[in-house]
Structure 1
Amino acid sequence: MQSVPTSVFQDLAALSLYLFFAFFLGLVLWLHREGKREGYPLISDRVGHPLRAPIEGFPATPDPKAFLLPHGHGTVLAPGPRVERDMTSLLTPYDAFPGASQVPTGDPMHTGVGTASYAERADTPDITWDEGDPKIVPLRAAAGWTVAEDDPEIRGRPVFGLDRKVAGTVVDLWVDKSDVLLRYVEVEVVGSGKRVLIPLGVVSWRGEGPVKCETATCAQIAAAPTTAHPERVTLREEDRISGYFGGGELYAQPGDSEPFA
């Protein structure tokens, strides 16, 4: 019986370890490269600088690849054409150096910048996985969906803004049929009949009292963005509405974005 030198086993163990390291390194690089299908290449803010150029890093951005959308809704290309808002006239640098903070030039809630910013998402509704129907709809269009018996009924209550003025009346609630929770309060604005959606997370009420919007005044609620369809909200509209009322946390009233004295 012949014996195998110990060094042979040591060489095999070392080779296996090196192969694993090589595989793992390749996997990390591949995952990092795949992660650049959205958001890359980055755009430098060196305006007028000779080094102003797209930034990709290593590894470079992968070649475009077509991804199938559910329910036969076509394909999407990633990386694909960049769909971005032109914010040149909406923001100005706080100071003249690369990376300086951008300051809104107008009303940030209406122009949608800063904390009120939004993305140009698809202008189509988000859909349920099983039926392929719009998943966020008002209760009047959601057969079989009701407010739980132990929860308060706020439909019909007045809505007040931050300025303690009546902005409108709650006419319906919008439900997310996939996550089984309420997303928006639908408010009919006083005097105009216009209907706006307010995210449920920025409204509050006590007992049988009125509903209060925590991030917008009466006038700002009346000027809020609306949906194109009375019983559907698209992904782009969701982003715009959430950005508008979320941005009100800092922009609704003068001084909200300033430090405490």
Structure 2
Amino acid sequence: MPGAHQFVQMDLAAGLLYAFFAFFFVLCLWLHREGKREGYPLISDRPSHPLRVPIEGFPGVPRPKVFKLKHVDPHLLNRRERDLTGLVVPADGYPGAPLIPTGDAMQDGIGPAAYAERADVPDLTFDDELPKIVPLRAAPGFTIGETDPDPRGKPVVTLDGRIAGVVVDLWVDRSEMILRYLEVEAAGAARRVLVPMFLATINSAGTVRVISVTAAQLAMAPGIAQPEQVTLLEEDKVAAYFGGGHFYATPERSEALV
């Protein structure tokens, strides 16, 4: 009796189905690999872990990306994460316990006040490659609209109800045509600091309210190296400091509501 033969027939529909399965499998692996760009390789915080070997899993950590920006050295973008040794301690002894700041979290850049290690160069305009964010005194042709309040010369009142300083200038984004920062001369500190415009309110009388920090904290805000330009790193530090004040400015803000 002749042997029976089985034949596998492949038509276009079956081929497309298998191709879709293969594509979807590769896509899942690629997405899982791309998801390891932040927080990997994992380092076990268990003292008994053998040699504390970095854990990557499968697939492994992808190669670092290099963003070729117009005015920033690509090598500056592949930095290591900030070393927080001595700045935080675990809240408990179990792995993955929350980290508690040991000092001034706003000054140390911890938790909600954390900042990214961006390039320490100013952002530039696209056409003429000039610093993008500058004070109005260094931006010819830019003025405050006639119907808009002008806070220059007005007092700045902080969370504790004290007058923390006076607005001396406004910083404008020459590409986006909006105000980015208030330049405040801190009372009794003999220094000027930048306050994010979107964290300040101006009432009808012209008084500026900044409720994210106290007067003392405003005077200790991160400064800038150049009087008429701000770098990407300085911007991140300023934004993180005042944003973190909504959690760290007073002990009550970081406590539970009930």
Where does the alignment leave 5 or more consecutive residues of structure 1 unmatched? 1-6
Alignment-mate amino acid for residue 101 of structure 1: P
Q: Please provide the CA RMSD for this pair.
A: 2.4
* Aligned residue in 2 for 1:44: 43
Deviation string 1:100-151 (CA, Å, 9 cap, x unpaired) is 1111111211121121111222111122233322211111112222222221
| Aligned 8 A contact 1:64 1:77 in 2 | no
Cα offset, 1:65, TM superposition: 5.8
Number of the residue aligned with 1:250? 247
Alignment CA distance shift 1:120-1:66 (3 Å): closer
CA contact (8 A) 2:156 2:165 kept: yes
Q: Kindly tell me: are residues 149 and 54 of structure 1, through their superposed partners in 2, closer, same or farther at Cα, counting changes over 3 Å?
A: farther
Which of the residues 217, 224, 231 maps onto 1:234? 231
* Identity percentage of aligned residues: 52
With 249-258 and 58-67 compared, the bigger mean Cα shift is at: 58-67
Taking structure 2 as the reference length, what is the TM-score of the superposition? 0.86
Post-superposition CA distance 1:169-193 (Å, at most 9, x none): 1011111223222111110112343
Distance 1:235 1:74, change over 3 A: closer
Show structure 2 runs of 5+ residues with no match.
1-7
Q: In the alignment, which residue of structure 2 is the partner of 1:186?
A: 183
Q: Judging changes above 3 Å, is the alpha-carbon distance between structure 1 residues 57 and 162 closer, same or farther for their aligned structure 2 residues?
A: same
- The Cα of 1:67 is off from its aligned counterpart by 4.2
> In 1, distance between residues paired with 2:189 and 2:21?
67
The offset of 1:16, in angstroms, is 1.8
The aligned counterpart of 1:149 is 146
**Equivalent residue for 2:5?**
none
Question: Is residue 79–residue 117 contact of structure 2 (8 Å, CA) maintained in 1?
Answer: no
1:165 maps to what in 2?
Answer: 162
Q: Does 1:201 align with 2:201?
A: no
User: Residues of 2 paired with 1:92 and 1:133: CA distance?
Assistant: 43
In 1: Cα distance, 2:38 partner to 2:257 partner: 35
Instruction: Determine the C-alpha separation between the residues in 2 that align with 1:148 and 1:25.
Output: 56
